[in-house]
């Protein structure tokens, strides 16, 4: 178990290093940070001082090392656009994005998995056909259009729910949460549906496909031949085997949710990291982009690690070193 | 030729097409979208880019069937007085162009690299698959956004505006290639070990020739399915980028751009400016996805 | 009563597959019986309908396949038209099944002990603790060494032969009276096949379990079966006591089949072989399905389809024995 985690972390390291290198390359070579930071009027001496100050006169690898050292400490320099430390900006915005993504993921899982199981088991019922059609529409609907349609109906026409912002938030230490106020929860409804709908349909289709695949296997036929009740065959044998691939994809989708939060946050003016990122892309604010990229990758890598551990928990074939093996 | 045609109409693929009304409907919708976009300059009722014909007095006209609508503007006009229907036709042109080009780019890149990786194996294979792994860790829209952002930062604004269309195509194409490479690599490795390929190798057919004439035809089926499904995705990616304001330049508005512009007027009640381009986008992507789904099932009878 | 009735009776079974190019008849007018404790071997080429007959008996035909006509009776009670839930109670409890490939028949995510225990608690009124105890007993009985330790192992921790032993334990653990064994040794190493057959045979004898043994291996049949049914293109070509079918086959197809087996007791220069191939289900010829390949074909074979007729000690679906039927009847 321990060795397994270590090996997975070792595998994740190159990914993180590659991403860090890309971030750093963006940081160091895209645009001219010195010119941007100095503004219009500067003397050569000032420029030299800043170059030295930023360490830009150092060799590439030293600069990269410093960059990583700083990144590990959460230090990403100043935003070109807002002239504030990037770490502060991100810390302010992270809770909004994480709460939104978490809610969306839970919505997607709690509805998507049962719908997938149902459509896999009763593939010819009219409800399954309805779900499938719905899912195809869901997959084809771009996130931002879902948001716009929801705003049009529930905010503009019906006036039931707010169309932008987080509502009132409560500070818990440095974390600001919208879960604890009524306006906060109301503000969360439309964005989380918008963000979760695509994943919901994807999870549903995936679970259905896996379920159909598993139901065709010999061990399911054998379980039926042993006279096990449908409940045991479907929700024990079949569902458990379905979970193995589903966990992987759902883990990856959690990453996608955070990425698509960029779109949802733009539609709903949700004050999260995604909005910050898209404003940075628009304004070529490289330090923020680099930091966001690193942070997101760290998040993805951790999610992948958790996925691997879950995998390990579900599938005994991965737990090597138990029993005597084949005779 | 007639023989090929006859075989096509006798094939399972055609049979399953004629048996699926939804698929036929999708094909018709897709065809309408493509034709409308292709012939926009000739059949659009107005030219939304002809500044001389624009009149701000025509701005914010609702669709023709409402009380204040005008017959001349079937789907109403936007804030500049442009005809929404014409703007949609021109916009669909850009959306389709970007979607098709990006898919073509991703397919070519992915198939080539997949063939090489699968056939040659070794270090190249390991390297390419590692890149795939890393890239697949990230959602493609994020990769596209990042590429777009970096190019935007690296180039002066004027230069960027000129090549923005290519940047978007490149960004979306790059973000989608690993799917193709993975599939092609897998099939190639299977094909490579089949007897007929072994035999071709033994009699001294050159590797490029084997790959092109023996391996490639056998992996085209799955590639076609992925490409079709990917087309829908690429159109969506473009629309998303443009909606976020980082996609195609404002001088060549795509459906996504139109939706973004219209979004500003949602609250003042001018819903048609954003909803009609949105519906067009959905119709286009949905029909392409349905066709892709059908194609996958038709080519893979065991999944039915 | 049950002494009079055969344990299993299949009457005029017909299985159809509707396809886009018309309905395929996979099993056509198949009738046979299995008595309590008897082993019926079913042989034939791939696609002859052997496995499908087995699937029809346990009520697990793959859709769109369906029983179009005929009856299947267990102990005189029809089981082919039962509702799913009623048939489920029979599967495992009355009729056990063994599949071909032990590598794919066991659920990889559950321990063998759990799979055994759930089968027993489903069908027998026993506690989980008792089921576990019996599970160890079964593993021991089918020859798994150190059964008490291996009970919590997962299938992938066993070899193919060991897994088939587990499958046998699973099929027998609720003590069914009939086992449908579909090519139980085909996927195994030749060296292990004999062990598995010996195990099946001794367990069936010990428990008094009847068995329908589907295989294309005549050696296995000769060794194990009491009676044998030879299937060809969805029909029974010949059925009778194993000794007679092997030594004095009546149907020309059976004769050809036996001729293709190398005898152990003498050298032969050349093994006989049957020319041609079994017809596809979509292209079964008029008359006797075997007529294009039959060395003794005559006019009537191309026109009428023969039913099973008495032919010496066996019954054969062949017009050669039409006269014999007349003289006897």
pLDDT at A39 over 70: no
Q: What mean pLDDT is predicted for residues A186-190?
A: 89
Q: Among A24-33, B266-275, C294-303, where is mean pLDDT lowest?
A: A24-33
Question: In B, residues 114-133, which contact A (CB 8 Å cutoff)?
Answer: 130, 133
The residue of chain A with its CA nearest to that of B153 is: A284
Q: What span, in angstroms and rounded, lies between the C-alpha atoms of A300 and A296?
A: 6
pLDDT in tens, A138-151: 877 888 888 888 98
CB contact under 8 A, A263 and B232: no
CB C223 within 8 A of CB C240: no
CB B167 within 8 A of CB B151: yes
Selected residue with higher pLDDT from B290 and C136: C136
CB contact under 8 A, A140 and B139: no
Q: What mean pLDDT is predicted for residues C70-80?
A: 92
Query: Which three-class secondary structure state does DSSP give residue C311?
Result: strand
pLDDT in tens, C260-277: 777 667 676 766 777 778
Q: What ipTM did this prediction achieve? A: 0.88
Query: Which three-class secondary structure state does DSSP give residue B258?
Result: helix
User: B164 at the A interface (CB within 8 A)?
Assistant: no
To probe the interface with A, which of C114, C156, C195 has the most A CB atoms within 10 Å? C156
The pLDDT of residue C2: 44
**What is the model's pTM?**
0.78
User: B282 at the A interface (CB within 8 A)?
Assistant: yes
Q: What is the nearest CA distance from A138 to chain C, expressed in angstroms?
A: 31
pLDDT in tens, C210-250: 999 998 888 888 888 999 999 999 999 999 999 999 888 89
The pLDDT of residue C72: 94
- Taking CB atoms within 8 Å and a gap of at least 24, the contacts of A14-19 are A14/B130, A15/A297, A15/A301, A15/B133, A15/B134, A15/B137, A16/A297, A16/A298, A16/A301, A18/B134, A19/A293, A19/A294, A19/A297, A19/B134
Q: If you search the block for the tokens 């007679």, which residue do you land on?
A: C244
Q: What mean pLDDT is predicted for residues C146-159?
A: 92
Counting as contact any 3 or more CB pairs under 8 A, the partners of C are: A
CA neighbor of A296 nearest in space, from A265, A264, A247, A258: A258
Q: What span, in angstroms and rounded, lies between the C-alpha atoms of A84 and C22?
A: 74
CB A15 within 8 A of CB B134: yes
Confidence of residue A322 (pLDDT cuts 50, 70, 90): very low
| A116, A117, A119, A122 alpha-carbon torsion, rounded to 10° | 180
Question: In A, residues 288-317, which contact C (CB 8 Å cutoff)?
Answer: 314-317
Q: What span, in angstroms and rounded, lies between the C-alpha atoms of B238 and B260?
A: 12
pLDDT in tens, A70-126: 888 877 777 877 778 888 888 888 889 989 998 998 998 899 989 999 998 888 889
Q: What span, in angstroms and rounded, lies between the C-alpha atoms of C123 and C91?
A: 9
The pLDDT of residue B1: 56
Q: Mean pLDDT for chain B?
A: 80
The pLDDT of residue B215: 79
pLDDT at B303 over 50: no
Q: What is the nearest CA distance from B229 to chain A, expressed in angstroms?
A: 10
| Chain A residues in contact with B274 (beta carbon < 8 A) | 148
Structure tokens, B271: 């819903």
Residue A191, Cβ density class (10 Å: 0-12 exposed, 13-18 middle, ≥19 buried): buried
The pLDDT of residue C324: 59
CB C143 within 8 A of CB A258: no
pLDDT at A26 over 80: no
The pLDDT of residue C227: 94
The pLDDT of residue C231: 93
Counting as contact any 3 or more CB pairs under 8 A, the partners of B are: A
Highest mean pLDDT pick, A178-182, B169-173, C178-182, C323-327: C178-182
Q: What is the CA radius of gyration of chain A?
A: 24
pLDDT in tens, B164-207: 888 889 888 988 888 889 888 888 888 887 888 888 888 888 87
Number of DSSP helices (H) and strands (E) in chain C, helices first: 12, 12
Number of DSSP helices (H) and strands (E) in chain B, helices first: 13, 0
The pLDDT of residue C4: 61
Confidence of residue A202 (pLDDT cuts 50, 70, 90): confident
CB A161 within 8 A of CB A154: yes
The pLDDT of residue A282: 77
Selected residue with higher pLDDT from C160 and A167: C160
Question: In A, residues 237-296, which contact C (CB 8 Å cutoff)?
Answer: 237, 240-241, 244
Q: Mean pLDDT for chain A?
A: 82
CB contact under 8 A, A142 and B240: yes
- Distance from CA of residue C49 to its chain's centroid? 10
Q: Mean pLDDT for chain C?
A: 88
Q: What mean pLDDT is predicted for residues C49-57?
A: 92
Q: If interface means Cβ-Cβ distance under 8 Å, which residues of chain A face chain B?
A: 14-15, 18-19, 26, 30-31, 136-137, 139-145, 148-149, 151-152, 156, 163, 252, 255-256, 259-260, 262-263, 266-267, 277-278, 280-282, 284, 286, 289, 293, 296-297, 300-301, 304
User: Which of C91, C109, C162 shows the shortest C-beta gap to A226?
Assistant: C91
Q: What span, in angstroms and rounded, lies between the C-alpha atoms of A64 and B127?
A: 23
pLDDT at B85 over 80: yes
pLDDT in tens, B7-58: 666 666 777 777 778 888 888 888 888 888 888 788 777 777 766 666 666 7
pLDDT in tens, B195-253: 888 888 888 888 788 878 877 887 787 888 888 888 988 998 889 888 888 877 777 88
CA neighbor of A318 nearest in space, from A5, A67, A78, A100: A5
- Distance from CA of residue B48 to its chain's centroid? 24
Q: Among A152-161, A311-320, B266-275, where is mean pLDDT lowest?
A: A311-320
Selected residue with higher pLDDT from A52 and B100: B100
Q: What span, in angstroms and rounded, lies between the C-alpha atoms of C295 and C293?
A: 6
pLDDT in tens, A206-249: 888 889 888 888 999 999 999 999 899 998 899 888 887 788 77
Confidence of residue C173 (pLDDT cuts 50, 70, 90): very high
- Distance from CA of residue A76 to its chain's centroid? 21
């Amino acid at each position: 178990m321990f060795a397994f985690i270590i090996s997975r972390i070792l595998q994740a390291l190159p990914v993180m290093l590659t991403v860090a290198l890309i971030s750093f390359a963006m940081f160091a070579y895209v645009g001219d940070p010195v010119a941007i930071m100095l503004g219009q009027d500067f003397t050569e001496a000032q420029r030299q001082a800043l170059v030295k100050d930023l360490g830009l006169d150092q060799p590439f690898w030293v600069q990269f090392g410093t960059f990583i050292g700083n990144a590990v400490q959460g230090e990403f320099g100043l935003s070109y656009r807002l002239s504030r430390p990037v770490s502060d900006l991100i810390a302010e915005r992270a809770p909004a994005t994480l709460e939104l993504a978490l809610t969306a993921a839970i919505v997607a899982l709690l509805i998507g998995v049962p719908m997938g199981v149902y459509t896999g088991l009763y593939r010819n019922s009219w409800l399954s056909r309805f779900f499938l059609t719905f899912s195809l529409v869901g997959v084809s609907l771009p996130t931002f259009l879902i948001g716009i349609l929801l705003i049009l109906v529930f905010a503009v026409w019906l006036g039931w729910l707010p169309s932008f912002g987080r509502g009132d938030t409560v500070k818990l230490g440095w974390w600001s949460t919208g879960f604890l106020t009524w306006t906060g929860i109301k503000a969360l409804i439309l964005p989380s549906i918008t963000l979760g709908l695509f994943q919901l349909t994807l999870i549903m289709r995936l679970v259905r496909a896996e379920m159909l695949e598993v139901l065709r296997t010999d061990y399911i036929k054998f379980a039926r031949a042993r006279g096990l009740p449908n409940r045991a065959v479907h929700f024990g044998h079949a569902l458990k085997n379905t979970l193995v691939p589903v966990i992987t994809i759902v883990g990856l989708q959690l990453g996608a949710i955070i990425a698509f939060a960029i779109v949802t946050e733009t539609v709903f003016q949700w004050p999260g990291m995604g909005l910050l990122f898209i404003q940075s892309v628009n304004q070529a604010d490289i330090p923020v982009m680099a930091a966001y990229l690193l942070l997101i990758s760290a998040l993805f890598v951790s999610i992948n690690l958790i996925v691997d551990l879950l995998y390990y928990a579900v599938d005994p074939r991965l737990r090597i070193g138990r029993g005597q093996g084949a005779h | 030729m007639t023989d090929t045609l006859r075989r096509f109409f006798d094939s399972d693929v055609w049979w399953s097409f004629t048996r699926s009304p939804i698929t036929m409907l999708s094909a018709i919708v897709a065809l309408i979208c493509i034709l409308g976009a292709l012939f926009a300059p000739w059949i659009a009722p107005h030219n939304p880019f002809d500044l001389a014909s624009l009149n701000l007095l025509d701005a914010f006209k609702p669709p023709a069937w409402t009380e204040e609508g005008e017959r001349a503007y079937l789907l109403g006009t936007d804030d500049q007085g442009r005809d929404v229907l014409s703007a949609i036709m021109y916009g669909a042109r850009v959306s389709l162009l970007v979607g098709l080009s990006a898919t073509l780019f991703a397919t070519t890149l992915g198939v080539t690299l997949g063939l090489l990786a699968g056939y040659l194996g070794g270090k190249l294979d390991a390297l390419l698959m590692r890149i795939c792994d890393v890239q697949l860790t990230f959602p493609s829209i994020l990769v596209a956004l990042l590429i777009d952002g970096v190019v935007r930062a690296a180039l002066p604004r004027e230069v960027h505006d000129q090549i923005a269309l290519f940047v978007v195509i490149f960004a979306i194409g790059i973000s989608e290639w690993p799917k193709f490479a993975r599939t092609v690599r897998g099939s190639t490795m299977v094909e490579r070990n089949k007897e007929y390929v072994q035999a071709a190798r033994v009699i001294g057919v050159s590797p490029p020739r084997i790959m092109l004439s023996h391996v490639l035809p056998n992996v085209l089926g799955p590639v076609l399915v992925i490409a079709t499904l990917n087309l829908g995705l690429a159109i969506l990616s473009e629309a998303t980028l443009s909606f976020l304001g980082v996609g195609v330049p404002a001088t060549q508005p795509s459906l996504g751009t139109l939706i973004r512009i219209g979004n500003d007027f949602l609250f003042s009640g001018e819903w048609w400016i954003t909803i009609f381009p949105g519906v067009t986008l959905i119709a286009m992507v949905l029909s392409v996805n349905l066709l892709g789904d059908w194609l996958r099932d038709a080519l893979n009878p065991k999944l039915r | 009563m049950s002494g009079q009735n055969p344990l299993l009776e299949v009457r005029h079974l017909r299985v159809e597959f509707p396809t886009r190019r018309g309905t395929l008849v996979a099993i056509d007018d198949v009738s046979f019986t299995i008595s309590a404790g008897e082993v019926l071997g079913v042989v034939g080429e791939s696609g002859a309908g052997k496995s499908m007959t087995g699937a029809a008996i346990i009520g697990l035909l793959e859709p769109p396949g369906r029983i179009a006509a005929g009856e299947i009776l267990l102990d005189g009670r029809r089981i082919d038209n039962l509702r799913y839930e009623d048939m489920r109670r029979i599967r495992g409890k009355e009729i056990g099944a063994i599949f071909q490939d032990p590598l794919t028949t066991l659920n990889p995510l559950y321990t063998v002990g759990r799979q055994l225990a759930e089968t027993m608690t489903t069908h027998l009124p026993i506690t989980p603790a008792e089921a576990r105890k019996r599970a160890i007993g079964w593993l021991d009985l089918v020859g798994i060494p150190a059964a008490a330790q291996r009970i919590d192992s997962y299938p992938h921790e066993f070899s193919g032969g060991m897994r088939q032993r587990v499958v046998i334990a699973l099929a027998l653990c609720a003590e069914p009276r009939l086992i449908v064994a579909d090519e139980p040794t085909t996927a195994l190493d030749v060296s292990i096949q004999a062990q598995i057959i010996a195990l099946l045979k001794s367990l069936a004898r010990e428990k008094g379990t009847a068995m329908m043994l589907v295989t294309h291996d005549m050696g296995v049949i000769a060794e194990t079966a009491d009676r044998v049914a030879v299937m060809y293109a969805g029909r029974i070509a010949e059925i009778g006591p194993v000794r007679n079918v092997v030594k004095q086959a009546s149907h020309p197809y059976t004769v050809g089949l036996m001729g293709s087996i190398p005898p152990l007791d003498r050298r032969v220069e050349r093994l006989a072989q049957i020319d041609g191939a079994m017809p596809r289900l979509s292209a079964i010829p008029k008359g006797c399905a075997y007529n294009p390949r039959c060395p003794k074909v005559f006019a009537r074979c191309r026109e009428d389809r023969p039913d099973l007729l008495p032919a010496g000690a066996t019954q054969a679906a062949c017009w050669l024995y039409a006269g014999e039927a007349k003289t006897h009847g």
